[in-house]
Structure 1
Amino acid sequence: NLEKLEVGFNRLTDQSLTELKFLPNLRRLDLSRTHLSDRSLASMKELKGVKYLCLRGNRDLNDRSMRLLPCQESLLGLDLTGVSVTSRVGLELQALKKLNALRLDGERFGAPEREKLKRYLPNCYITYAVNTGHLPIEIFRPLH
């Protein structure tokens, strides 16, 4: 009855991803920084019920990779921060009829690109993450 699975920061094989089909109640899946490829996404095609999918930090994925997303009928939320997508990702995501929340890199999308995405996905709330850089070392001084 597993509903939430976080396997981020692991190097997953395509074979291990095919095993996810045996988790029919899975609703939230975090695959952050798992070195996914187009082949990896394709291997999850039988994954049907996931509503929230985090692909954060999978830099080998791009706009065209989104055609291979599993759970296209059920997906409500998608995190693509750190993924190599452009404003064209909106075209690829139009097939996700239930998608209502999308998170992207803020630095990658200027005002014209954001407008274009909003036209492609009018019913989707899009947030843009901003990388503030590294934490200043001074905040750790009280710990010594």
Structure 2
Amino acid sequence: MPFVSLCYKINIQKKKEESYMKNYSIGIADGARTEFHQTLGLTGAEVSFNSLPAGVSVPFVHSHKENEEIYIITEGKGTLTIDGEVVKIKKGNVIKISPNGKRQFAAADDEGISYVCVQVKENSLTSYTENDAIIY
């Protein structure tokens, strides 16, 4: 999984500089689901890295009360069932689902799937990079 390796390499390279890590945090994905909100001290989003082996699906359907989710498929292929509609997904796809959308992930029978899930409160973004960035 390239995402896991990348995080691990960054962690090793920066380990000697931990006393200087004032403006950023590093998390390492190390399981079928790794949540980063506590590890990274996130205050405006919930981020997780998820992996399903071939032929396995998330064992439940879920939705949210207020949060939309953005899924970034980093490896493999599978299906995402959204409100009863089955959508084929693969590496490189990015999907946004509104809070009330009922969703369930499944890996393909012949290949696993890995994805990043970013969860944020719907309609909470008040400024974009072009208006919020400070260029030095």
Q: TM-score, normalised by structure 2?
A: 0.29
Which one scores higher on RCO, CA 8 angstroms, separation ≥ 6?
2
Structure having the larger proportion of residues in helix: 1
Q: TM-score, normalised by structure 1?
A: 0.28
Structure having the larger proportion of residues in strand: 2
